[in-house]
């Protein structure tokens, strides 16, 4: 009876493994090219800025380290299960109170891993958040329930501010020039939002009364999507925006078209007509609202 049960169990395991493999193949084959690319990037989109490369490699090598650690742990678990299994009903395993070398190892090894992860995380953070000589600035205003993008100080429109502003039912488009360093200045007139573009692998909180900023250098012409990553109220899901990275000539033409359509102001615009300013943030100080009007 014993050998027969063993054979049946072995056949069951082989069939189960075959079913899992076939299911995985069918699942992957049914994915779109974009989804397959994210699987290959370990759930990350292809980086579309110079700064995103640092984030992408940190993410990839963190996964490699985690998979290696998992393989070692699972390997040790199964090895111990096999090596120290009970071989007869009369056998009593050796009772060990502690193993000092092993305890030292599993105390020191995680500490070393945390230190290594911390070092590389801080290194990437410094590389992503460093201030450089930007080519242009975009004042980003997140308000309930959309975004306003102010393009300030551009020679194409005589140094004036041109802007585009969305509503909860009208998704705005952020247009950026390729191979130009853009500094995003982030403001909010109401509650905390979070400005993020998945293709740029970067996001940052937009906090009322606080000045946050970061820089990106888009190196890929194309269309991307952006959204708010902070639960900011009942219509949070509508806080979407499109991103279009174009050539420098097309970017200057876009600014000229905004000016011709009347979307021009002397100072950055702090949101559309649906934006409500919190008490204490209705002054014109640069500290609070970046000099918006």
- Sorted by where each begins, the domain ranges of the chain are 45-130, 136-289
| Residues 159 and 287: beta-carbon distance below 8 Å | no
Assess whether pLDDT exceeds 90 at residue 176. yes
User: Among 33-37, 73-77, 197-201, which stretch is predicted with the lowest mean pLDDT?
Assistant: 33-37
Q: How far apart are CA 16 and CA 22, in angstroms?
A: 10
Q: DSSP label at 131?
A: -
Q: How far apart are CA 293 and CA 161, in angstroms?
A: 11
Q: How far apart are CA 238 and CA 193, in angstroms?
A: 12
Q: Which two tokens stand for residue 89?
A: 């009903």
Topology at the third CATH level for domain 136-289: Immunoglobulin-like (2.60.40)
Q: Which two tokens stand for residue 230?
A: 């902070």
Cβ-defined contacts of 269-272 (< 8 Å, 24+): 269/141, 269/148, 269/150, 269/161, 269/163, 269/165, 269/293, 270/141, 270/143, 270/148, 270/187, 270/189, 271/141, 271/143, 271/148, 271/165, 271/189, 272/143, 272/146, 272/148, 272/165, 272/166, 272/167
Assess whether pLDDT exceeds 90 at residue 131. no
The pLDDT of residue 244: 93
Q: Dump pLDDT digits (tens) for 265-275.
A: 877 777 665 55
pLDDT, mean of residues 41-56: 81
Is the CATH number of domain 45-130 1.10.1240.10?
Answer: no
Other residues' Cβ atoms within 10 Å of the Cβ of residue 110: 11
The helices-and-strands tally (H runs, E runs) of the chain is 6, 11
| Residues 139 and 187: beta-carbon distance below 8 Å | yes
Assess whether pLDDT exceeds 50 at residue 148. yes
């Amino acid at each position: 009876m014993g050998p027969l049960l063993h054979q049946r169990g072995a056949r069951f395991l082989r069939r189960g493994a075959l079913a899992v493999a076939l299911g995985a193949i069918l699942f992957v084959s049914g994915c779109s090219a974009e989804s397959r690319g994210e699987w290959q990037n370990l759930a990350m989109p292809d980086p579309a800025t110079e700064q995103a490369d640092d984030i992408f490699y940190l993410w990839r090598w963190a996964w490699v380290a985690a998979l290696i650690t998992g393989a070692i742990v699972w390997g040790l678990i199964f090895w111990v299960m096999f090596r120290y299994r009970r071989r007869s009903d009369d056998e009593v395993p050796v009772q060990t109170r502690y193993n000092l070398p092993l305890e030292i190892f599993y105390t020191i090894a995680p500490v070393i891993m945390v230190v290594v992860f911390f070092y590389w995380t801080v290194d990437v953070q410094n590389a992503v958040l460093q201030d450089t000589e930007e080519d242009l600035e975009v004042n980003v205003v997140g308000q309930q329930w959309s975004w306003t993008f102010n393009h300030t100080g551009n020679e194409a429109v005589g140094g004036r501010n041109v802007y585009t502003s969305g509503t909860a039912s009208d998704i705005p488009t952020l247009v950026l020039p390729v191979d130009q360093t853009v500094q995003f200045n982030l403001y909010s007139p109401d509650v905390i939002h979070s400005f993020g573009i998945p293709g740029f692998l970067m996001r940052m909180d937009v906090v009322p009364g606080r000045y946050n900023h970061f820089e990106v250098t888009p190196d890929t012409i194309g269309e991307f999507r952006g959204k708010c990553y902070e639960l900011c109220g009942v219509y949070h899901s509508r806080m979407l925006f499109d991103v279009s990275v174009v050539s420098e000539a097309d970017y200057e033409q876009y600014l000229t078209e905004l000016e011709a359509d009347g979307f021009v102001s002397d100072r950055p615009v702090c949101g559309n007509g649906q934006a409500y300013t919190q008490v204490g943030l209705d002054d014109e100080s640069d500290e609070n609202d970046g000099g918006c009007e």
